[in-house]
């Protein structure tokens, strides 16, 4: 070494090292104004997208129960509705005549007796068991819903089925014995459901008899009515719907049975 002095040793220098001047190193980073604008726009777009995603996620979580309830209510309120038969109208009809009446209305009907009869079995002319199903949905699907007692069904399908169906039975071997059973999806209480059933059957102005709770836990009201100089006995019984059908998600409702006997 020679204390920093150059030594000429006969070899050509391999190259030189250049160092930037100190002021250049201390100079701040300069971003062109057009690039700054682009960065700002990208930041705003990212913020807007994040806000929209957050709002949608919040809406999905918070409003999901309301939308679920709305879809069930829509399934209940759309379609032909119950179109309940009035039992008073059939006290002078045989089962064949009742079938003809139902057929003339254009109801979509399931003949329960025929469904469960053995091949070649002759049906009892004194007995009738018919289920009216919603006419605006697939008939075969309604048959499956009925066969399976609404088990494993979508709640909207079950709600629509119940809102537009009833089961009518008639037994005429020993006089008149007519029944109709259905789901009341509109009444707010058992008492309201009983009152609505009595009104639907035209028994409001008849003589009222006993009321209370029967051995099966159903709330009931009975009475008598005069029809064509005949004394007919009627009864209405109601229980919570979930005691008859176990479908998760159905709103609180009631199952109603109206009966008229001679």
Cβ count within 10 A of residue 247: 19
87 with 56, same domain: the answer is no
176 with 150, same domain: the answer is yes
Q: What H or E segment, with its residue span, contains residue 60?
A: helix 33-77
Residue 129 — very low, low, confident or very high, per pLDDT cuts 50/70/90?
very high
Radius of gyration of the chain (CA): 39
Q: Is the pLDDT of residue 24 over 80?
A: no
Q: What is the mean pLDDT of residues 184-203?
A: 97
- Mean residue pLDDT across the chain: 85
105 with 118, same domain: the answer is yes
**Which of 165-187 are b and which e, b meaning 16 or more Cβ less than 10 Å from the residue's Cβ?**
bbbbbbbbeeebbbbbbbbbbeb
167 with 55, same domain: the answer is no
56 or 218, greater pLDDT: 218
User: Helix or strand or coil: residue 199?
Assistant: helix
Residue ranges making up the domain that contains 37? 31-77
pTM (two decimals): 0.74
126 with 145, same domain: the answer is yes
Residues 6+ apart with CB under 8 A from 91: 176, 178, 227, 228, 230, 232, 260, 262
Q: Count H helices and E strands in the chain, helices first.
A: 7, 8
* Residue 244 contacts residue 256 (beta carbons within 8 Å): no
Instruction: Please indicate, yes or no, if residue 7 is contained in any of the structural domains.
Output: no
Q: What H or E segment, with its residue span, contains residue 207?
A: strand 207-213
Give the residue from 179, 163, 183 showing the smallest Cα distance to 236: 179
Here the tokens at position 98 are 């009742």
Q: What pLDDT does 55 receive?
A: 66
181 with 198, same domain: the answer is yes
Q: Is the pLDDT of residue 190 over 60?
A: yes
Instruction: Please indicate, yes or no, if residue 2 is contained in any of the structural domains.
Output: no
116 with 87, same domain: the answer is yes
Distance CA 16, CA 89 (A): 116
Which of 77, 93, 113 lies at the terminal end of a domain, its last residue?
Answer: 77
Could you say which DSSP state residue 10 is in? Answer: S
Here the tokens at position 134 are 């919603």
Q: What pLDDT does 56 receive?
A: 63
51 with 126, same domain: the answer is no
Q: What is the per-residue pLDDT across 58-74, written as a single tens digit (0 to 9) for each?
A: 555 555 556 777 888 88
- Domains of the chain: total: 2
Instruction: Please indicate, yes or no, if residue 11 is contained in any of the structural domains.
Output: no
Q: In this predicted structure, which of 14-23, 40-49, 53-62, 72-81 has the lowest mean pLDDT?
A: 14-23
Q: How far is CA 60 from CA 6, 35, 48, 53, 201, in A?
A: 78, 37, 18, 10, 44
Here the tokens at position 171 are 């037994």
Instruction: Please indicate, yes or no, if residue 177 is contained in any of the structural domains.
Output: yes
Which of 42, 77, 112 lies at the terminal end of a domain, its last residue?
Answer: 77
Q: What H or E segment, with its residue span, contains residue 223?
A: strand 219-227
Q: Which of 16-20, 24-28, 64-68 reaches the highest mean pLDDT?
A: 64-68
Instruction: Please indicate, yes or no, if residue 16 is contained in any of the structural domains.
Output: no
117 with 38, same domain: the answer is no
63 with 177, same domain: the answer is no
Instruction: Please indicate, yes or no, if residue 23 is contained in any of the structural domains.
Output: no
Instruction: Please indicate, yes or no, if residue 1 is contained in any of the structural domains.
Output: no
Instruction: Please indicate, yes or no, if residue 15 is contained in any of the structural domains.
Output: no
Which of 16, 44, 77 lies at the terminal end of a domain, its last residue?
Answer: 77
Q: What is the per-residue pLDDT across 221-231, written as a single tens digit (0 to 9) for each?
A: 999 999 988 99
117 with 223, same domain: the answer is yes
38 with 163, same domain: the answer is no
């Amino acid at each position: 070494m020679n204390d920093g002095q150059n030594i000429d040793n006969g070899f050509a220098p391999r190259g030189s090292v250049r160092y930037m001047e100190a002021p250049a190193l201390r100079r701040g980073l300069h971003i062109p104004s057009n690039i700054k604008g682009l960065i700002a726009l990208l930041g705003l777009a990212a913020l807007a997208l994040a806000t929209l995603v957050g709002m949608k996620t919040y809406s999905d979580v918070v409003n999901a129960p309301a939308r679920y309830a709305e879809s069930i209510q829509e399934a209940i309120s759309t379609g032909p509705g119950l179109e309940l038969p009035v039992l008073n109208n059939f006290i002078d009809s045989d089962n064949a005549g009742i079938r003809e009446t139902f057929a003339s209305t254009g109801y979509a009907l399931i003949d329960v007796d025929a469904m469960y009869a053995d091949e070649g079995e002759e049906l009892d002319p004194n007995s009738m068991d018919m289920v009216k199903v919603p006419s605006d949905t697939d008939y075969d699907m309604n048959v499956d819903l009925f066969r399976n007692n609404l088990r494993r069904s979508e709640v909207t399908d079950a709600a629509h089925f119940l809102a537009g169906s009833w089961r009518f039975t008639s037994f005429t071997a020993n006089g008149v014995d007519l029944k109709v059973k259905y789901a009341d999806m509109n009444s707010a209480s058992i008492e309201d459901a009983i009152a609505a059933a009595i009104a639907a059957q035209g028994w409001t102005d008849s003589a009222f008899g006993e009321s209370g709770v029967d051995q099966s836990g159903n709330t009931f009201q009975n009475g008598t009515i005069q029809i064509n100089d005949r004394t007919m006995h009627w009864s209405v019984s109601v229980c919570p719907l979930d005691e008859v059908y176990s479908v998760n998600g159905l709103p609180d409702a009631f199952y109603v049975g109206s009966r008229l006997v001679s």
